[in-house]
């Protein structure tokens, strides 16, 4: 979106919403009432200071907190007599001692008609996994760069992670404009460079704003030093930005969290609707088993509902007793998820322990946990060029493309269609750690059709030829399974139904 358009959006909305804290009991009531905002950028670009400044100027800092911060700032003799705004966010002792941000901090404030959730993320490469955690919860990202340095490798990495987790709106805050003499030329240079970076991604809106966090220029208050800049201040932007482009006609999905049983024969499927809408009387199916039923009740403690839509935590009661448990995805009949046992995905590796093809992993999707039979890396994103380069290994903070074969089929969507049934985390089968977070880019159902033409890959068939060179060692057994899966995959990709029985 161009600045002129955004400016109109800003002017229309700020007329109604001045930057004072709410004084009445009325809560925000319309759509877009909550905006979740990520701040990220490289070390020392001043993220915590920027958000601290925003909270200090706009709302959300109480008097005792102000006094405590003023005192702590004085103790650290930071920046002469100035307030160290970063102390508002760096809540861990190690962070305060080292003057860096280690983990994400969550802060909340509200203006007249919206609730802001600010997720401040660390800039150090070492803590990228915490940044990825923060990014996955955000609707909008503020990427910070130091006006003296412009976009760095870490800026590109952060932009790539924002893109991966599905953020569509990005604002580049060019900070420390005071250090470059409020130079318009420098700002334009960084703006052009960043737009070329952003062009590699799927962002729907990119906005660039020149700011100085320490002095508050263009944060909550328009800068007098940069008359050449006619766009919104950071707060203007935040009050106007639309957190989510409303999509109409999205297929219904509800992953089942648990089955609720109570006296008088009550049996309901509890879950949160992740997309679309459902009405009592609609037909729904369990994508995994293919079993169908009619929706009889949408039960809640506040009474039954006629309809449930995205975001509602409900309990669905069906007209027939179907065998559905946690992990199932209830769907509309027409547009179902893929019942997939092979997927391709892009992921960000979060664990200090690198990817190991021999290690045991589990795929955690919306509510299902599926064993991974085999997994391979095909490419890594190069943070200089942002291109995916062929690779077979991946380690902490890498963004990689991979292929995963599952031990059994599970109901999935593509992330670009339905993010909440198209994302996953990869879990270590050994210690339960979350080792990667990813999005599904391709999924295929390998489930054989019931009929006579199913090819059964059994042990004898494989041992005769393809696997004749393999013995009984664990390594050979693993290789045996890998070859079986690969053959099945190749055959299925040309439409031959295959069943593996080894």
Partner 1 sequence: MTALTSHLKLLEAESIHIFREAAAQFRAPVLLYSIGKDSTVLLHLARKAFWPAKLPFPLLHVDTTWKFRDMIAFRDRTVRAFGLDLIVHTNHEGLARNINPFDHPPSIYTDVMKTVALRQALDAGGFDAAFGGARRDEEASRAKERVFSFRAAGHRWEPRRQRPEMWQLLNGRLGKGETVRVFPLSNWTEGDVWRYIALEKLDVVPLYFAAERPVVMRYGQMIVVDDERMRLEPGERPEMRKVRFRTLGCWPLTAAIDSDASDIDAVVEETLAAKVSERAGRLIDHDQAGAMEMKKREGYF
Beta-ladder partners of 38? 119, 141
Helix (H) / strand (E) containing 477: helix 474-493
User: Should residue 130 be labelled a site residue for partner 1 when binding is judged by CB under 8 A?
Assistant: yes
d(CA 373, CA 368): 15
- Least distance (Å) between residue 115 CB and partner 1: 5
Name the residue among 265, 263, 38 with its Cα closest to residue 138: 38
User: Should residue 265 be labelled a site residue for partner 1 when binding is judged by CB under 8 A?
Assistant: no
Nearer to partner 1, 406 or 467 (CB): 406
Query: For partner 1, which residue of 184, 189, 312, 417 counts as binding (CB under 8 A)?
Result: 312
d(CA 494, CA 221): 61
- Least distance (Å) between residue 470 CB and partner 1: 32
Q: Which stretch binds partner 1 (CB under 8 A): 126-134, 178-186, 337-345, 445-453?
A: 126-134
Nearer to partner 1, 208 or 421 (CB): 421
Nearer to partner 1, 108 or 228 (CB): 108
Q: Which stretch binds partner 1 (CB under 8 A): 202-210, 261-269, 334-342, 465-473?
A: 261-269
Site for partner 1 in 173-202 (CB under 8 A): none
Per the structure block, which two tokens stand in for 497? 């139904």
Task: State the pairing for strand pair 434-444/338-349.
Answer: antiparallel
- Least distance (Å) between residue 61 CB and partner 1: 9
User: Should residue 34 be labelled a site residue for partner 1 when binding is judged by CB under 8 A?
Assistant: yes
- Least distance (Å) between residue 147 CB and partner 1: 29
Query: For partner 1, which residue of 311, 360, 371, 471 counts as binding (CB under 8 A)?
Result: 311
User: Should residue 133 be labelled a site residue for partner 1 when binding is judged by CB under 8 A?
Assistant: yes
Helix axes 153-165, 128-135, angle to 10 degrees: 40
User: Should residue 228 be labelled a site residue for partner 1 when binding is judged by CB under 8 A?
Assistant: no
d(CA 223, CA 231): 11
| Entry field: residues in the chain | 502
Q: If binding means CB under 8 A, how many residues of this protein chain bind partner 1?
A: 79
Contact present, 118 and 108 (Cβ < 8 Å): yes
- Least distance (Å) between residue 355 CB and partner 1: 15
Site for partner 1 in 402-441 (CB under 8 A): 419-420, 423-425, 427, 431-434, 437
Q: Which stretch binds partner 1 (CB under 8 A): 147-155, 271-279, 447-455, 463-471?
A: 271-279
d(CA 4, CA 2): 6
For the residues of 311-335, what is the DSSP string, one character each? T-EEEEEESS-----TT-EEEESSS
Q: How far is CA 244 from CA 74, 122, 152, 163, 247, in A?
A: 41, 25, 28, 15, 9
Q: How far is CA 146 from CA 5, 98, 466, in A?
A: 26, 20, 58
Exposure of 292 in the CB half-sphere (CA atoms within 13 A): 9
User: Should residue 92 be labelled a site residue for partner 1 when binding is judged by CB under 8 A?
Assistant: yes
User: Should residue 89 be labelled a site residue for partner 1 when binding is judged by CB under 8 A?
Assistant: yes
Nearer to partner 1, 42 or 136 (CB): 136
Query: For partner 1, which residue of 64, 81, 358, 389 counts as binding (CB under 8 A)?
Result: 64
Distance of CA 114 to the CA centre of its chain: 22
Site for partner 1 in 335-354 (CB under 8 A): 350
User: Should residue 363 be labelled a site residue for partner 1 when binding is judged by CB under 8 A?
Assistant: no
- Least distance (Å) between residue 72 CB and partner 1: 9
Q: How far is CA 409 from CA 135, 284, 320, 412, in A?
A: 29, 19, 24, 9
CB atoms within 10 A of CB 150: 15
User: Should residue 77 be labelled a site residue for partner 1 when binding is judged by CB under 8 A?
Assistant: no
Q: Which stretch binds partner 1 (CB under 8 A): 21-29, 240-248, 280-288, 482-490?
A: 21-29
Q: Which stretch binds partner 1 (CB under 8 A): 214-222, 231-239, 364-372, 494-502?
A: 364-372
Site for partner 1 in 239-258 (CB under 8 A): 257-258
- Least distance (Å) between residue 263 CB and partner 1: 8
Residues 6+ apart with CB under 8 A from 100: 43, 90, 122, 123, 124
Distance of CA 88 to the CA centre of its chain: 25
Name the residue among 217, 245, 36 with its Cα closest to residue 142: 36
Nearer to partner 1, 183 or 257 (CB): 257
Query: For partner 1, which residue of 2, 79, 108, 357 counts as binding (CB under 8 A)?
Result: 108
Per the structure block, which two tokens stand in for 311? 């975001």
Q: Which stretch binds partner 1 (CB under 8 A): 98-106, 186-194, 221-229, 381-389?
A: 98-106
d(CA 415, CA 397): 21
User: Should residue 63 be labelled a site residue for partner 1 when binding is judged by CB under 8 A?
Assistant: yes
Nearer to partner 1, 42 or 423 (CB): 423
Query: For partner 1, which residue of 98, 181, 202, 300 counts as binding (CB under 8 A)?
Result: 300
Distance of CA 380 to the CA centre of its chain: 19
The three-state secondary structure class of 279 is strand
Nearer to partner 1, 101 or 154 (CB): 101
């Amino acid at each position: 979106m161009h600045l002129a358009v955004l400016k109109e959006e800003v002017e229309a909305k700020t007329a109604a919403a001045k930057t004072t804290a709410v004084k009445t009991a009325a809560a925000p009531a319309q759509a877009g009432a909550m905006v979740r905002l990520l701040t990220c950028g490289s070390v020392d670009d001043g993220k915590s200071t920027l958000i601290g400044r925003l909270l200090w100027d706009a709302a959300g800092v109480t008097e005792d907190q102000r006094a405590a911060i003023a005192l702590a700032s004085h103790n650290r003799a930071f920046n002469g007599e100035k307030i160290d705004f970063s102390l508002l966010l760096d809540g861990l002792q190690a962070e305060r001692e080292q003057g860096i941000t280690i983990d994400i901090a969550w802060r909340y404030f509200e203006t007249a008609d919206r609730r802001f959730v600010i997720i401040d993320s660390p800039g150090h490469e070492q803590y990228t996994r915490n940044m990825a955690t923060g990014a996955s919860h955000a609707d909008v990202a503020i990427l910070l760069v130091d006006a003296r340095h412009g976009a760095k490798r870490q800026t590109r990495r952060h932009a790539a992670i924002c893109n991966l987790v599905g953020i569509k709106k990005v604002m580049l805050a060019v900070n420390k404009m005071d250090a470059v003499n409020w130079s318009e030329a420098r700002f334009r240079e960084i703006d052009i460079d960043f737009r070329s970076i952003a062009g590699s991604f799927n962002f729907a809106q990119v906005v660039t704003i020149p700011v100085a966090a320490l002095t508050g220029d263009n944060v909550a208050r328009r800068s007098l030093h940069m008359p050449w800049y006619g766009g919104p201040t950071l707060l203007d932007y935040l009050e106007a930005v639309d957190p989510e482009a409303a999509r109409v006609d999205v297929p219904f999905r509800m992953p089942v969290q648990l089955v609720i049983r109570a006296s008088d024969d009550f049996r309901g499927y509890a879950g949160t609707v992740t997309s679309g809408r459902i009405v009592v009387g609609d037909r729904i199916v369990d994508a995994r088993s293919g079993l169908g039923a009619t929706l009889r009740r949408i039960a809640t403690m506040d009474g039954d509902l006629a309809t449930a839509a995205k975001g509602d935590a409900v309990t669905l009661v069906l007209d027939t007793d179907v065998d559905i448990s946690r992990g199932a995805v209830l769907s509309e009949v027409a547009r179902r998820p893929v019942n997939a046992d092979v997927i391709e995905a892009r992921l960000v590796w979060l664990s200090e322990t690198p990817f190991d093809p021999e290690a045991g992993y589990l795929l955690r999707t919306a509510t299902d946990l599926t064993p991974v039979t085999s997994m391979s890396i095909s490419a890594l994103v190069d943070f200089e060029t942002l291109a995916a380069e062929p690779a077979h290994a991946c380690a902490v903070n890498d963004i990689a493309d991979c292929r995963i074969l599952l031990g059994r089929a599970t109901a999935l969507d593509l992330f670009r269609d339905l993010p909440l049934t198209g994302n996953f985390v990869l879990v270590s089968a050994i210690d339960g750690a979350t080792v990667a977070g990813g999005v599904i880019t391709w999924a295929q159902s390998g489930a054989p059709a019931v009929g006579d033409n199913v090819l059964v890959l059994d042990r004898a068939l494989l041992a005769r030829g393809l696997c004749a060179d393999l013995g009984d060692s664990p390594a050979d057994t693993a290789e045996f399974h890998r070859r079986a899966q690969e053959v099945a995959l190749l055959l299925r990709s040309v439409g031959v139904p295959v069943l593996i029985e080894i």
